[in-house]
Amino acid sequence: MRARLALAVSWQTVELREVVLRNKPPELLAASTKATVPVLVLPDGQVIEQSLDIMRWALERHDPAGWLQGPMAEILALIGEADGSFKYHLDRYKYPGRYEEDSYSRSLDGHQSAAGHIVSEWNQRLTGQPCLFGAHASLADMAIAPFVRQFAHVDAAWFAAQPWPQVQKWLTAFENSALLAQVMQKYAPWESGTYGVAFPTAP
């Protein structure tokens, strides 16, 4: 999702090929050994495999919303926390059956609590400001919000009951945004030998 957010806001048009991961096309496997999405293949053959790298690639070409403004070292450090420890606990909270090799992963409460502790810190950061680094959304907000959205949706009633009013307000604004509605548009799975669809499209 976050790669599409940056592509959409920067109006970097790509050929989007929707992939069903349980039926991976050979073109995906040939392009990237990681065999998962997102993958961006540039005209010169360069392959960008990480969503954050795709975001930065798009925004470095056109950044009309100013997502790259702000203290970049701090922004990247906060994203690193989200991509590291928060994502670790999120995955095991959301998909407990996938991680049975780790006894701790069998405790939903343990991973919920650990991820929630990080969200609590983000709630404190948002106190007195609408976004993670001030008055305007930055790369941090748009890279982290999709993960918080996943976390909130595992148990929406529990999330709503937590003392995180600033995060809840921040997440609601993200979920109600026209940009998210644009990138959440559904596409038919791509078939080998056909063209994908132009993305982004007009909201």
**Per-domain boundaries in the chain:** 2-65+181-198
pLDDT for the residue numbered 97: 77
* pLDDT-derived band at 67, boundaries 50, 70, 90: very high
pTM comes to: 0.93
How much is the average pLDDT of 70-82?
A: 98
Q: Reply yes or no on whether the pLDDT at 106 is more than 70.
A: no
- Tell me how far apart the alpha carbons of residues 86 and 177 are, in angstroms, rounded to a whole number: 24
pLDDT for the residue numbered 153: 97
pLDDT for the residue numbered 105: 46
Q: Reply yes or no on whether the pLDDT at 41 is more than 80.
A: yes
CA distance from start to end of the chain: 16
pLDDT for the residue numbered 109: 82
pLDDT for the residue numbered 203: 60
* pLDDT-derived band at 98, boundaries 50, 70, 90: confident
User: Each residue of 185-196: pLDDT tens digit?
Assistant: 999 999 999 999
Q: Lowest-pLDDT range, 86-100, 108-122, 185-199?
A: 86-100
Position 116: which residue type?
A: G
Got the DSSP string for the chain?
-HHHHHHHHHT--EEE----GGG--HHHHHH-TT-SS--EE-TTS-EE--HHHHHHHHHHH--TT-TT-S-HHHHHHHHHHIIIIIHHHHHHHH-GGG-TTSGGGG-HHHHHHHHHHHHHHHHHHHTTSSBTTBSS--HHHHHHHHHHHHHHHHSHHHHHHSS-HHHHHHHHHHHT-HHHHHHT---PPP-TTS--EEES---
For the chain, give the mean pLDDT.
Answer: 94
CATH code: domain 2-65+181-198 is 3.40.30.10
* pLDDT-derived band at 101, boundaries 50, 70, 90: low
Q: Reply yes or no on whether the pLDDT at 163 is more than 80.
A: yes
pLDDT for the residue numbered 100: 63
